[in-house]
Amino acid sequence: MSGHSKWANIQHRKGLQDKKRGNLFTKLAKEITVAAKMGDPNPDMNPRLRLAVLAARKESMPNDNIKRAIAKALPGSGEGDYSEIRYEGYAPGGISVIVECLTDNKNRTASDIRSIFSKNGGNLGETGSVSFNFEHVGFFMYKKEIGDFDTVFETALEGGASNVEEEDENYIITCEIPDFSNLSKALEKFGEPEKAEIIWQPKLTVAVDGEGAEKIERFTDALEDNDDVQKVYTNAEFNE
C-alpha cells in the first residue's frame, strides 16, 4: 500500500481551476445542487454535498452562491433538475477518455459532446467502451505535514482505505466508493484535505509528449469549456 502515484494525470491536469471563475462557479454550483437534491440538504448529513461544498470553498466561492445552489434542490424551487451523464471514447492517439456531465437538456449535451469529439480528432464510444480500463474510487490528498506515514497509514487503513501512497510533498489515499464516507470521517483528525473526490483512476497509463500531448490538451480543453462538462479523465501520462 505504498509507492509512487501519478494522480496528476488521472484527471485532465489543467482542471477546472484554470478556467474562468464564472465558468468554474457554475460547475461547482451544479454539483452542490445535485448532491443536495439526491440526499439531505444539510452537508453534515450528506457526504456528497459536504464534499461539493468543500470543493466550492477551496475555490473561494461565496457562501451566498453555495446557499443558492442548495436552495435550488429544495422542493418547490422549480430549479436544479439536472441529470448525470457519462460519455466515453477516445482522444487523439487512442487515449481513453471519460467525461462526466450534469445537464438540464440531455439532447443538447449529447450533440455538443459528439461535436467536440468529432472536431478535435476524438472518437465517441458507447457507455462501457473504456471505463473497464479505469477504477472508480474515492480519492484524498493531504500534505505530508499532517503527520508521519505510519500514523496516516494506520488511520487510513482503519477507515477503509485500499491504498496509501507518498508523492512528493503529499499523501495520496484511495478507497472503494462504499468506504468513502467512513474514510472521510476517519481522516477528519488531519483537518481538511487538499483534495477529496470520487475519480476514475486508469489501471494503466499511456505516456504522451510533444505534438501528441498538445492534441490531447486541445481536446480536453474543448470538453472542459463546455458548461455541462464537470470532469474529464484520461489515461494519458504527460511527460514534462
Residue 23 included in any domain = no
Q: Are residues 111 and 145 in the same domain?
A: no
pLDDT in 10s for each residue of the chain, 240 residues: 333 345 555 565 444 444 566 688 889 999 999 999 888 888 888 888 888 998 898 888 999 999 999 998 888 776 768 899 999 999 999 999 999 999 999 999 999 999 999 999 999 999 999 999 999 999 999 999 999 999 999 999 999 999 999 988 999 999 999 999 899 999 999 998 888 889 999 999 999 988 988 999 999 999 999 999 999 999 999 876
Considering the domain architecture, whether residues 192 and 146 belong to the same structural domain is answered as yes
The distance from CA 58 to its chain's CA centroid, rounded to whole angstroms, is 14
pTM: 0.84
What residue numbers bound the domain in which 214 lies? 83-132+205-238
- Decide if 57 is inside a domain: no
- Residue 104 and residue 96: Cα distance in Å, rounded? 26
Q: Domain check: are 151 and 99 in the same one?
A: no
Is 170 among the domain residues? Answer: yes
Residue 104 lies in a domain: yes
Domain harbouring 150, CATH code: 3.30.70.980
166 and 144 in one domain? yes
pLDDT of residue 130: 96
Within a domain: 116: yes
Number of domains within the chain: 2
* Within a domain: 25: no
| Burial of residue 142 (number of CB atoms within 10 Å: 0-12, 13-18, 19+) | buried
Burial profile 123-137: b = 16 or more Cβ within 10 angstroms, e = fewer:
ebbeeebbbeebbeb
Alpha-helix runs per DSSP H in the chain: 21-38, 47-58, 63-71, 106-119, 149-159, 180-186, 210-224
Residue 34 grid cell:
445535485
Distance between start and end Cα atoms, the chain = 26
